[in-house]
Chain A
Amino acid sequence: MSNIPTHLKYTESHEWVNADEDGNALIGITDHAQEALGDLVFVELPAVGDEISQGDPVAVVESVKAASDIFTPVSGRIIAVNEDLDADPAIINADPYNDGWLFEIELIDSEELDGLKDAEAYEETLED
């Protein structure tokens, strides 16, 4: 069974969101996603300062098998990207929820978070 931490929010397209109290959020892909993709070998991240809207394809992760678009679960401005992934994308395989984060967003509308899935609802989508 894949690991689904209960303190995060999720999308059906297997991104996670970790929002803090200052209105910023880290985004990454779930354990299920990294396992399905297999060994990751390349990550294309957005630029710091980019303004992005919920649902936009803003990053790409590529495994030996395939390329997969990452859709931002929330709208806002990119304030940081995980530059360690350039040299070692496999960090995502090893630690998808912590060291394997992709980018950080300054949220425009924190109410968007309410529309995302909690761990239980995300787990249900995996069972379908």
Chain B
Amino acid sequence: MSQHTPLYSAHVAAGARMVDFGGWEMPINYGSQIEEHNKVRKGAGMFDVSHMTVVDINGAQARIFLSYLLANDVAKLKTPGRAFYSCMLNEEGGVIDDLITYFLDETFFRVVVNAATHDKDMAWINSQARAFDVKVNERPELAMIAVQGPEARQTVLSLLPESDAELAAGIKPFGAGQFGDLFIARTGYTGEDGFEISLSAGAATRLWDQLLAAGVMPCGLGARDTLRLEAGMNLYGQDMDESVTPLESGLGWTVVLNDERAFVGKDALLKQKERGVEQKLVGLVLQDRGVLRPGQRVVTGAGEGVTTSGSFSPTLQKAIAFARVPKDATQTCQVDIRGKLLNCSIVRPPFARNGTVCEGII
């Protein structure tokens, strides 16, 4: 049985092509994925991300619990309204999921995890929470709209009551706040500025219509995927999963290992670091004609690897990919596309952010 978000009817009315995503019937595009992609890079687009799982961690030990649960150190969140990105690991250091954590007050943190991993995430979080004085409260009644692009914030602010707009305008990147019905966070998955807004179902359909009237383009999961790939952001289940650690997934920067803090998976990561991390996740830009896709064989001077994500990049007008390759691979490699070895350069993502191609990519 496919689940529907509160915006399902709005998608169908807008002519969206709907697909199953993690048990949810979601829009893949509303016509042209490339047009949607470009609108987010140059103007403002909006995504229904109501399928994502919002989990509130309430209780006296909320911070201590998250300090143990997450590979990133929740001590970095010093001021209420701050947020960060982290992986949640198993004891072997494998990635159970990646998530955003918002610090609201010392007894209230909010975590947003992926839709496709909902069941295992909830089972894991609940089992780990038993040893702590916390309550794990899922918030399935909350819808979520991501409004992204250089014009996104201004458009959202123009729709808020004046007093709220003034305060919300002051939210810094990776900051958040509650404004009446709306929980507004300056986060996203596109490499552009913007807001992710959690709100009730009724408020979501009203806001969606207002944003539409204000010229914000509805964008589907297709554009979301090419935008996040250009922005150098991993997709769980594709670029990392329980079989690899963050250190092999380009996510070493999200892991805090050099202090006394104990967290799930820490011992395994320390051991892996001591042994040496043998693989790394890199970016590829195809120099020949063709399109990179997940699962293609990569041939480097240091051995073979595999692409984990890949597509045509509307901003670069070339094919790009993430690939897991031997740690000593540098500069160039070849990718096997239907039996032909095509030339790629090896780069450090992101490929494109804030409307343009990043330095050193092409």
| Cα separation A21 to B212 with both chains bound (whole Å) | 52
B33 touches A62 (CB 8 A): no
- Assess whether A67 is in contact with B32, with CB atoms less than 8 Å apart: no
Are A65 and B291 neighbours in the complex by a CB distance under 8 Å? Answer: no
How long is the Cα–Cα vector from A39 to B39 in the complex, in angstroms?
A: 15
Contact B289 A65 (CB under 8 A): no
* CB within 8 Å for A62 and B32 given contacts A42-B289, A42-B291, A67-B293: no
Residue from A42, A44, A64, A86 in contact with B222 in the complex, judged by beta carbons closer than 8 Å: A64
In the docked arrangement, what's the CA distance between A41 and B275, Å? 43
Q: Note all chain A residues with C-beta closer than 8 A to B314.
A: 64
Select from chain A the residue with minimum beta-carbon distance to B19.
Answer: A65
- Give the interface residue-count category, chain B: 10 to 19
Are B291 and A41 in touch, CB under 8 angstroms?
yes
B293 touches A64 (CB 8 A): no
Q: Which of A38, A44, A66 is within 8 Å of B290, CB to CB?
A: A44
By DSSP majority rule, is chain B's interface helix, strand, loop, or mixed? mixed
Does A47 interact with chain B (Cβ within 8 Å)? no
Interface membership of A60, Cβ < 8 A: yes
- Closest-by-CB residue of B relative to A66 is B293
Quick check: is B28 within 8 A (CB to CB) of the other chain?
Answer: yes
Name the distance in Å between B219's Cβ and chain A's nearest Cβ.
Answer: 13
Taking CB atoms, residues of chain B closer than 8 Å to A65 are 28, 33, 222
Tell whether A38 pairs with B293 under 8 Å between CB atoms, given A64-B226, A65-B222: no
Which chain B positions have C-beta within 8 A of A60? Answer: 338
Contact of B291 among A38, A62, A86, A93 (CB under 8 A): A62
CB distance from B291 to the nearest CB of A (A): 4
Interface size class of A (residues with CB under 8 A): 10 to 19
Specify which chain A residues have a CB less than 8 angstroms from the CB of B109 in the assembled complex. Answer: none
Q: How far is the CA of A44 from the CA of B291 in the complex (A)?
A: 10
Query: For residue A42, which residues in chain B have a CB less than 8 angstroms away from its CB?
Result: 289-291, 312, 319
- Rounded to whole Å, the gap between the CB of B177 and the closest CB of chain A is 35
Cβ of B116 < 8 Å from any Cβ of A? no
Q: Which of B28, B32, B291, B319 has the most CB of A within 10 A?
A: B291
The CA-CA distance from A65 to B222 in the complex, in Å, is 7
- Cβ contacts under 8 Å, A64 to chain B: 33-34, 222, 226, 311-312, 314
Q: Digit string of B8-51 for contact with A (CB within 8 Å is 1, else 0)?
A: 00000000010000000000110011110000000000000000
Task: Supply 26 A–B pairs (Cβ within 8 Å), ascending by A.
Answer: A38-B17, A38-B28, A38-B29, A38-B32, A38-B222, A39-B32, A39-B33, A39-B34, A39-B35, A41-B312, A42-B289, A42-B312, A60-B338, A62-B290, A62-B291, A64-B34, A64-B226, A64-B311, A64-B312, A64-B314, A65-B28, A65-B33, A65-B222, A66-B293, A67-B291, A93-B32
Given A39-B32, A67-B291, 11 more contacts at CB 8 Å?
A38-B29, A38-B32, A39-B35, A42-B290, A42-B312, A42-B319, A44-B290, A62-B312, A64-B34, A64-B312, A64-B314
Interface residues of chain B, those whose CB is within 8 Å of chain A, are: 17, 28-29, 32-35, 222, 226, 289-291, 293, 311-312, 314, 319, 338
